[in-house]
Every structure is written in structure tokens, then in C-alpha cells.
Structure 1
Amino acid sequence: MFMKQLSAIAKYWCIYAHKNLQSLEIVGSEHSVIMYLSIQNNISQDTLSTQLVLDKGTIAKILVKLEQKGLVSRVVNEQNKREKIVSLTEKGEEEVKSVYAIVNLWETELLEGISETDQTIFLDVLTSMTERAKSLSVLEKETKI
């Protein structure tokens, strides 16, 4: 019932972001990576993969592209040589500021005409649903239909 609307909002966000972020160097999932790094910088590549729910191969490909663009750096963890620590570069931090400006504009325009009370309720419900979805996705049993 609500999945169709959530999916539509996500698709419209992608269209909006694509149109409004064309002048930036980042595309697709690269947005998610640099935005996450702006909140949680200097983290392992594996942690980034887990937090963004992207497989390790996909994250590796995205990070190579972002490194080539000078937006992130990856260094070997001195305590664990098999682990790479990912962080934003100064250039990456500047890109993040531009993305945040577009995100804030999207949210402002999207929520126009919706009361603060309704916005708070919606966010609370959405947060609860996100947590429930996360817990359901890691359940060990399969649902049989």
C-alpha cells in the first residue's frame, strides 16, 4: 500500500538530484558515499559497504571513481593491513556542501504545505519502519509464501 508511494518519492528524488547535480562531478551511488562520509568520515571500506547496504565490489568500484576524481582517499589501516580506511578529501568536502544545498532545497520544496506536526509524525513513523525493515532483512528465517 505505501511501498508504491515510497518508491515513487525515491525515483522522483533521483530525477531531481540528477537534474540539479549535473554540474558536480558525482553521479549515482557516489552521492550516497560522499554524503555518508560527511557524517561518518575515516571509516573502513567494509563498514561503508555495510552501512550503505551495497556489496563490497560495488563500494570498491565507486571508491575507485571517487578517488580518481580526488573526492576521497583510501589508506591502509596500520593496525590491520587488510583494511582500508576511507575519508573525504578537501575537494570532497566542497562537493558535499553543494549536495547538501540541493538536498535541503528538495526537502523544503517537498514538505511545503505540510504542517510541522505532520512532518514530525511522518519522520517518527518512517524511522520506526526503517528500523523494522532493517531487522526483518537480517532475520535468519525465510518467509514462505
Structure 2
Amino acid sequence: MTSTSTFPTVLRELLRTHQAFLAYAATHVHTLDLTLPQYDIIITLGDTPGMTFKKLGEKTLITKGTLTGVISRLEDKGLVQRVASETDGRSQIVRLTATGEALYERTFPEHLVFINRIFNDYSPEDVENLESALLRLHETVTTLRSNGSGKLADETDE
């Protein structure tokens, strides 16, 4: 079991790595005159017939309130459109326009190359070990969150 004294260091490095990754990814995305959340929408919708706001929010991890604004800005750029769902009259489907699809097809392969540079000095085993450790951490946090085990011993339900 990990001692509580090592936890702040691990958490700090995880957060620092996340911030560094986002800043790195943003350097490429900003050359496309987009923000990271906007490009996240573009690559999530690429090669799909579109998605509901709910599904798009789940796949991108963008909150509902933020998602609406991001979609509106992408509409203003002519990259996405909202259409009524054929199966649920209350839902809207967000999908790429022809311009948005062309942007996705042109830029996504180069974005993958840009991102994959991060791992140039990693062996396949290093990448596998990193992925395994991150998956394990995610599963642990998700399990603790979903079953209420995240409460401290002295916390009580009121």
C-alpha cells in the first residue's frame, strides 16, 4: 500500500503531466484557429454520422454548459450543424458540415503524428506499462466514486 506521504507527489506529477500535455496539444490545435475543446468536438465527430449532445458530452468530457457554447462557436465557423433527431423529436444531433469533415480529414492524421512524438523515447513496453498503470488508477477512482467508498471514515450521512 502506498504511504500517504507519497500521495501528494504522485498527484502533483499526474496534474503537472496533464497540464503539460494539454499545453503541448494546444500548440498544434491553435495553428488551426481552434481551441482544444473545439478540436475535441471535431475529432470526436469525425467519421461519424453525428451524435446527440449527451453522447458528445460523454465522449469528450466537456460539461453540458460548456458544450453548448463550444458547439455554437463551431457553428459560427461553419464546421458543425445541429439537426433534429429522426428518432427523438426532442433531441438534436450535432454533426460535421462538409467543411468540418474536410478539416478533420486534413488535420487529424497530422495531429496524431504531433501527439505521438511524446512517446518517441518510450519502448512499446514502457507505453504498455504506462497505459496499464493509468487504467488501474482510473478503475480504482471510478469504483471508489461509484460505490461511495470515497467518504472518510469519520464522515456520516445526514
Q: Normalization by structure 2: what TM-score?
A: 0.75
Runs of 4+ in 1 over 3 A off after TM superposition: 131-142
1:62 to 63, 70, 76: 70
By how many angstroms is 1:26 displaced? Answer: 1.3
Provide the alpha-carbon RMSD of the alignment.
2.4
Q: Say if 1:26 and 1:78 are closer, same or farther in 2 by CA, change over 3 A.
A: same
Equivalent residue, structure 2, for 1:102 = 111
Aligned residue identity for 1:104 = V
Q: Say if 1:31 and 1:111 are closer, same or farther in 2 by CA, change over 3 A.
A: same
Equivalent residue, structure 2, for 1:34 = 42
Instruction: Report 1 or 2 for greater relative contact order, CA contacts < 8 Å, sequence distance ≥ 6.
Output: 1
By how many angstroms is 1:116 displaced? Answer: 1.1
User: Which 5+ residue runs of structure 1 have no aligned equivalent?
Assistant: none
Is the radius of gyration larger for structure 1 or structure 2?
Answer: 2
By how many angstroms is 1:83 displaced? Answer: 0.5
Residue deviations 1:64-92 (CA, integer Å, cap 9, x gap): 11111111121111321210111122322
The whole-number CA distance in structure 2 between the counterparts of 1:41 and 1:133 is 33
By how many angstroms is 1:12 displaced? Answer: 1.6
The whole-number CA distance in structure 2 between the counterparts of 1:8 and 1:125 is 17
Aligned length: 144
Q: Aligned pair 1:4/2:20, yes or no?
A: no
1:25–1:69 Cα contact (<8 Å) kept: no
2:29–2:36 Cα contact (<8 Å) kept: no
